[in-house]
């Protein structure tokens, strides 16, 4: 394991009967980085994380963590990790402070509970019962429980799923803050914008295998110098759509949404407007953007991340 590598996974496998939840994946996570497992539901992200968190045991494979090669995640490793589960619950009749005090008691060197409360902005809710918290507050409490031991390695499993945009942004800023403090973070998400915003490196999973890996920029650059043009049309079955072939070499139609990939944006746009005038097809909701991880996944699998 390299000097700057905190975690390495080699040929990890976990099967449930005929289902290959994780099928021989391998990756490395650099110290003080944000590493993201990106993929649709059922890709194997959570299973991979649960093996690394110590909830499940792998059928086979090697895990090197904190400079040690281990068969399974031990209690001494758990002393140094923090886990934000995708769907863990709390005792509804305990108070916020009691929950954090309880979790702090499981560790050898916990942080003061008041410090955690402040860090996750729950000081005012310290005496509130868990059952009275909002979704965003619950997620902050879960994050507080994950950080109570001041962990070196933090697992965040779908940390913003189900949160409103404001709460999602708050969570992003917490992750950025943790990274600034030198923590290593392994994140799973199916939000490509989240992966792009937070990640130092991304591993795209599908059907239990890794289909692409690299920094967000490296992955999107696999598209070359292409630019994406998107617009909507009222009637995708119109004959006029056939004429689009003359101005755009690569385009996809998904319902009423048309996505065009081009290396020559200026020419493509001129031809698109000409086609629109000629065929009298308005280009609704027209946007021009750079390729993102969604496009990478789409080009690799033919499916969207959230399908």
Partner 1 sequence: MTGILRIALAHVATAIRERVTLFWFLIFPAFVLVLLALIFGNLGEEGEISFELGLINRDTVSAGPIDFAEIVEETFRSLAEPGEGSAEPLFTLHQPNDDTDVEAFLDSELTALRRGRRAAVVVIQAGFGNAVFGSYGQASSDSAKLSVYMTTSNVASQMATEIIEQVLAGVDREILTRGGRYDAAQAIEPETVWLGTTGEETPYVDFVLPGIILMGFFVNGLFGVPGAILFNRDRKVLRRYWVTPLSVPRFLAGFSIGHLALCGLQFVLLYLLGRYALGASVSFASPSAFLLLLLAAVTFLAFGFLIASLARTTQGGMAAANILNMPMMFLSGLFFPIAGLPFFLRLIVYANPLSYLAQGLRASLGIETSVFTPTQILGVPLAWIALSVVIASIRLRWDVER
Binding site for partner 1 (CB under 8 A): 16, 53-55, 75-76, 78-79, 81, 83, 85, 87-91, 93-94, 98, 101-103, 105-108, 129, 142, 145, 149, 155
CB of 86 to partner 1, least distance (A): 9
Tokens of 94: 């305990």
CB of 303 to partner 1, least distance (A): 23
CB of 55 to partner 1, least distance (A): 6
Pick 137 or 262: Cβ nearer partner 1 = 137
Pick 130 or 229: Cβ nearer partner 1 = 130
Bridge partners (DSSP) listed for residue 288: 229
Instruction: Give me the DSSP letters along 83-147.
Output: EE-SS----TTSBHHHHHHHHHTTSSSPPPHHHHHHHTT-GGGTTSBGGG--HHHHHHHHHHHHH
Beta-strand (E) ranges in the chain? 5-16, 19-30, 34-38, 60-65, 68-70, 81-84, 153-157, 184-189, 201-206, 209-214, 227-232, 250-254, 257-262, 284-289
CA distances from 143 to 90, 105, 123, 148, 263 (A): 12, 16, 14, 9, 43
Pick 87 or 180: Cβ nearer partner 1 = 87
CB of 145 to partner 1, least distance (A): 7
Pick 106 or 273: Cβ nearer partner 1 = 106
CB of 5 to partner 1, least distance (A): 22
Residues in contact with 123: Cβ distance below 8 Å, sequence separation at least 6, in sequence order:
114, 117
Pick 116 or 247: Cβ nearer partner 1 = 116
Task: Count CB neighbours of 194 within 10 A.
Answer: 23
CB of 6 to partner 1, least distance (A): 17
Distance CA(153)–CA(186), nearest Å, equals 8
Query: H helices then E strands: how many in the chain?
Result: 11, 14
CB of 160 to partner 1, least distance (A): 18
CA distances from 301 to 196, 201, 290, 307 (A): 19, 20, 19, 11
Pick 85 or 178: Cβ nearer partner 1 = 85
Distance CA(295)–CA(24), nearest Å, equals 25
Pick 29 or 148: Cβ nearer partner 1 = 148
Q: State residue 104 phi and psi, 5-degree precision.
A: -60, -30
Pick 20 or 232: Cβ nearer partner 1 = 20
Tokens of 70: 């281990």
CB of 21 to partner 1, least distance (A): 8
């Amino acid at each position: 394991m390299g000097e700057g590598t905190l975690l390495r996974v080699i040929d990890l496998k976990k099967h449930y009967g005929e289902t290959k939840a994780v099928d021989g994946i391998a990756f490395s996570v650099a110290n003080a980085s944000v590493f993201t497992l990106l993929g649709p539901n059922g890709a194997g992200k959570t299973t991979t994380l649960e093996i690394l968190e110590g909830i499940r045991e792998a059928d086979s494979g090697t895990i090197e963590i904190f400079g040690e090669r281990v068969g399974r995640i031990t209690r001494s490793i758990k002393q140094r990790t923090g886990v934000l589960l995708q769907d863990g619950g709390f005792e509804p009749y305990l108070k916020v402070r009691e929950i954090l005090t309880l979790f702090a008691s499981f560790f050898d060197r916990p942080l003061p509970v008041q410090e955690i409360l402040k860090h996750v902005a729950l000081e005012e809710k310290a005496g509130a019962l868990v059952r009275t918290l909002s979704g965003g507050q619950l997620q902050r409490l879960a994050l507080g429980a994950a950080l109570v031991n001041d962990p070196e390695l933090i697992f965040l499993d779908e940390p913003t799923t189900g949160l409103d945009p404001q709460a999602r942004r708050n969570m992003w800023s917490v992750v950025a803050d943790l990274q600034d403090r030198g923590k290593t973070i392994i994140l799973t998400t199916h939000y490509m914008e989240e992966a792009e915003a937070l990640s130092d490196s991304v591993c795209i999973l599908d059907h239990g295998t890794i289909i692409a890996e690299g920094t967000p920029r490296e992955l999107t650059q696999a598209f070359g110098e292409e630019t994406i043009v998107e617009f909507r049309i009222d009637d995708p079955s119109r004959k006029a759509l056939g004429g689009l072939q003359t101005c755009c070499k690569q385009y996809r139609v998904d319902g009423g949404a048309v996505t065009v990939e081009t290396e020559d944006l200026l020419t493509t746009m001129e031809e698109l407007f000409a086609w629109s005038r000629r065929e009298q097809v308005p280009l609704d909701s027209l946007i021009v953007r750079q390729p993102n991880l969604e496009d990478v996944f789409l080009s690799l699998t033919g499916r969207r991340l959230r399908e």
